[in-house]
Structure 1
Amino acid sequence: MREREKGVLQVYRGVKLSNEEVEKLKANEGKLISMNGFLSTSRLPSVAQNFASQSTKRRDAVVVLFEIEYDLSELNDHDIVCADIAKFSDYPEEQEVLFDLGATFKIQSVNREKPDLSRVKLRVTSEGADIAREYIKLNRKELEQRSVAVMFDSLLCDMGQYDKSMKYFENLLQNHKDENISDIEFNLGRAHGFRGEYDKELQLYEHSYATMMMSKPVPEKASAIVLNNIGVVYGSKGEYDRALDYCSKCLKIQEKCLPSDHPDIGDSLNTIGNIYNSKGEYDRALDYYSKCLKIQEKCLPSDHPHIASSLNNIGNIYNSKGEYDRALDYYSKCLKMREKCLPSDHSDIGDSLNNIGNIYNSKGEYDHALDYYSKCLKMREKCLPSDHPHIAASLNNMGSVYDRKGEYDRALDYYSKCLKMREKCLPSDHPDIARSLNNIGNIYDCKGECDRALNYYSKCLRMREKCLPSDHPDIGDSLNNIGNIYNSKGEYDRALDYYSKCLKVQEKCLPSDHPHIASNLNNIGVVYGSKGEYDRALDYYSKCLKMREKCLPSDHPDIAHSLNNIGNIYNRKGEYDRALDYYSKCLKMREKCLPSDHPDIGDSLNNIGVVYYKRSEYKRAVGYFERCLKIRKKFLASGHPDRVGVEKMLSGAKKFV
């Protein structure tokens, strides 16, 4: 507060709640309530009421004005902390006061003054502080040396208020007085990073680090954290070796000056695991995540959020390896822990729901995926600003399910909403905007609208070339997608040109046996297959299969895909026995690692049916076509080309039975 104010502080918070939520508050008069995260209030009731009167999607919402009373004479080092942050704001006239994590209030009274207005009187109390104190202490380890001003401004980043955080830190930098300049630069860098402005973020981190190095003595612990964040930025830019270099330096310093089981060492191990994950070196990533988890289980409470995060990361690895059941197990443990130790609408719980949705999406269990994605979206819309990037990500994931289900118009609707939101809340050249352009391009590609797809893919490529290093993997992906379009248009030489450029990027930035390189070899094989150069196609497919068998689990879906493609070539060459052999191996693998009604299994059944049809074994062909159609009816609309195709084949085969 302003130089530690005395007396009674009166502040206000305006929100919209449902009638049911107001009644719950009424039923809990005299009891304690703790807010989720950090609570923004105003000294002016008019500001709070105006804020609450803003439009909302909730039709049953009524205005609720919280009147919060705080006797500052009771303030001591163990009670609730709040800060007057008006001097840092773009709107100082709003007289904003921010309450600390763990602030606890007693509900004095709840009165409905009008049908659409209720007034809730709260009093700040320290009665609930002991419950939250251990959690807060563990989460403040990196803020121990910071002033109150720096601490509260850095929290705005965690609240998703990146623009406000940037403005506050810029003001602090201009009026820093006794504040630590390197600390301010570090947090200003964080704010730019959340906005995807990696070059500016990197510049501020490097300046912060240089300032620290000139200090006497050098703050080793703090400097290690800056090195770690520099490494994270290089990782985001796709410069993984430089990222590893900085993060390894950070870890080396921490191992020198901290106990071997210190949480910061666990965090560094986790970061290095993230980099190996991005490089596709999943076993090394798993090793670092496991070491991190071991430290956390030793030094943190058994249900601490950081342990949940490590379980989540290990789940990510198994997801990447195609071991979906193991991934689901870790994600479920993570969700259970987060539901136990975090508020019910915490954004991390939303992240867990999202990840479980990802697994069901990958397994082809689309209704389950939509259920989890919908729960995640609902939670994010409740606890995050209406244009928060995570809400956009949820819209994107909903679109991806409809994309896979072949409901392209619904997918396009979600992808378009996502793009609109990202263009509103992110810098104009942010990588996530490029990703949305790419996804919309995918939809037009699937709909056979090659020119519109090419337009979106080209916009995506231009944006990525502008904001990412020339050898970033995402640029390779864009080149690959444009190659796909030219392949679809029958412009095979142009397709090969883009695939070759993609391969050149990938070989420069990825390990020699990375799955993405294998996928590109596969695509080059597709082009040669389309050109009728079957032996060359077979050569690339075989190289792809060999690489995938080396770098992926033995029952990974991508290996099955390679077997399928080799089967396609033998089918086209008229070598039906060999085609049937590869198709059967593919089907066996898919039935082992995918749900029984997964669309890929339907594709395998169709391909085997086609071979039997060509061999004039119509009765066997009918059996496979019927099984395929049963699956496709479940996932594809009645007019979908793949569904229509198998219906025609089935009808044709039945004529000969």
Structure 2
Amino acid sequence: KQKVATSFVQGTLVRNPDIVGVMFIMTIDPSKISTSITPFAMIDEHSALPQEQEILFTMHTVFRVLEIKQMAENSRLWEVQLTITDESDPQLAGLTDCIKQEAQGTTGWYRMGHLMLKVGHFDQAEELYNELLESASTDSDRAFIYHQLGWLKDDQGKYPEAVKFYEKSNKILEISLPPTHPNLASSYNNIGLVYKNMGDYSKALEFYEKSLKIKEKALPSNHPNLATSYNNIAAVYYNMGDPSKALSSYKRPVETYKAALPPNHPD
């Protein structure tokens, strides 16, 4: 079957000299997964081309990438080796838990909006958040939605609009939260990030330092979020053409990360 697939792909490459071919080789070992969680089925008898031995997978099926290699006989053809996996895989389970934690929001609609942002479906996310904003009944919900719209506009590169939404969110938080609340630190940090993206480094530094002051009061001295603030401030100093202050600031996150994270952590 692999020879048939290779022949098909190579024929396509000959007819289309500007494209690259990728062939996925999937290993499916039922003993390595729970078929009740990740079901699949052979659909030969229902297929228009039974000889192709097609397999139907459930939409949430996940494959682990084992190897990616360029084919020796054709530099425009690549082979990707995959093996099926499921939530019994410790690394996949850890990633799934992390994604669940990142999908903030009190309801399914809020979490849906967050996931739309994560995958770059900005128009759909904006439409959803505007509808949620119309029905929001609490200040905390409105602050959250304004924050998400700010994030959306920042990702789109629409920085003035991002600042507007972030500041609307921040105004609510400043009224409703104590001055050392961690959510205020995150709010100030996000505003600083947008100003940095706009090239307004003095304003970025102002908000980064506001964020840092709260974190220094609210968090232990070796908390990774402190390292993030030190790193952001260092980047601003570097962009402002002050390498000595940048270097001094960069040393602080390194020490904080060393104290807070295991030695093999990617950060």
TM norm structure 2: 0.67
Q: Summarize the alignment of residues 234-633 of structure 1 with structure 2, pairs less than 5 Å apart.
A: 234-305=195-266, 307=267
**C-alpha distance in 1 between matches for 2:94 and 2:262:** 9
Q: Which amino acid aligns with 2:210?
A: K
Superposition deviation, residue 232 in structure 1: 1.1
**C-alpha distance in 2 between matches for 1:139 and 1:278:** 32
Q: Who is 1:214 aligned against? A: 175
Q: Who is 1:121 aligned against? A: 57
Deviation readout 1:474-528 (Å, 9 max, x if unpaired) = xxxxxxxxxxxxxxxxxxxxxxxxxxxxxxxxxxxxxxxxxxxxxxxxxxxxxxx
Q: Who is 2:41 aligned against? A: 109
Q: Secondary structure at the match of 1:209?
A: helix
Change (3 A) 1:140 1:111: closer
Q: Who is 1:166 aligned against? A: 126
Superposition deviation, residue 184 in structure 1: 0.9
Report % sequence identity.
24
Superposition deviation, residue 181 in structure 1: 1.3
Deviation readout 1:513-557 (Å, 9 max, x if unpaired) = xxxxxxxxxxxxxxxxxxxxxxxxxxxxxxxxxxxxxxxxxxxxx
Superposition deviation, residue 261 in structure 1: 1.6
Superposition deviation, residue 270 in structure 1: 2.0
Structure number with higher relative contact order (C-alpha < 8 Å, ≥ 6 residues apart): 2
Pair member with larger Rg: 1
Superposition deviation, residue 19 in structure 1: 8.8
**C-alpha distance in 1 between matches for 2:256 and 2:239:** 23
Superposition deviation, residue 228 in structure 1: 0.6
Change (3 A) 1:263 1:175: same
Q: Which amino acid aligns with 1:24?
A: M
Point out where structure 2 has 5 or more consecutive residues left out of the alignment: 1-20, 62-84
**C-alpha distance in 1 between matches for 2:90 and 2:48:** 37
On the 8 A contact 2:146/2:165 being kept in 1, the answer is yes
Change (3 A) 1:154 1:129: farther
On the 8 A contact 2:122/2:152 being kept in 1, the answer is yes
On the 8 A contact 2:227/2:254 being kept in 1, the answer is yes
The correspondence for 2:162, drawn from 172, 189, 201, is 201
Q: Secondary structure at the match of 1:128?
A: coil
Larger helix proportion, structure 1 or 2?
Answer: 1
Superposition deviation, residue 282 in structure 1: 3.2
**C-alpha distance in 1 between matches for 2:180 and 2:133:** 20
Change (3 A) 1:211 1:243: same
Change (3 A) 1:256 1:169: same
On the 8 A contact 1:29/1:108 being kept in 2, the answer is no
**C-alpha distance in 1 between matches for 2:86 and 2:223:** 30
**C-alpha distance in 2 between matches for 1:234 and 1:260:** 27
Q: Secondary structure at the match of 2:220?
A: coil
| Matching of residue 24 in structure 1 with residue 26 in structure 2 | yes
Change (3 A) 1:251 1:19: closer
**C-alpha distance in 1 between matches for 2:197 and 2:166:** 14
On the 8 A contact 2:40/2:55 being kept in 1, the answer is no
Q: Who is 2:184 aligned against? A: 223
Q: Who is 1:441 aligned against? A: none
On the 8 A contact 2:151/2:162 being kept in 1, the answer is yes
Superposition deviation, residue 263 in structure 1: 2.0
Change (3 A) 1:138 1:31: closer
Q: Which amino acid aligns with 2:38?
A: K
Superposition deviation, residue 297 in structure 1: 3.6
Point out where structure 1 has 5 or more consecutive residues left out of the alignment: 1-17, 34-68, 71-104, 308-657
Change (3 A) 1:227 1:143: farther
Change (3 A) 1:24 1:227: same
Count of matched residue pairs: 218
Q: Which amino acid aligns with 2:192?
A: G
The correspondence for 2:116, drawn from 156, 174, 178, is 156
Superposition deviation, residue 205 in structure 1: 0.5
Superposition deviation, residue 138 in structure 1: 5.8
Q: Which amino acid aligns with 1:163?
A: D
Q: Secondary structure at the match of 2:41?
A: strand
Deviation readout 1:589-627 (Å, 9 max, x if unpaired) = xxxxxxxxxxxxxxxxxxxxxxxxxxxxxxxxxxxxxxx
Q: Which amino acid aligns with 1:166?
A: E
Q: Secondary structure at the match of 2:172?
A: helix
Q: Which amino acid aligns with 2:259?
A: K
Change (3 A) 1:258 1:139: farther
Superposition deviation, residue 199 in structure 1: 0.8
Change (3 A) 1:135 1:186: same
Q: Which amino acid aligns with 1:187?
A: Q
**C-alpha distance in 1 between matches for 2:112 and 2:188:** 23
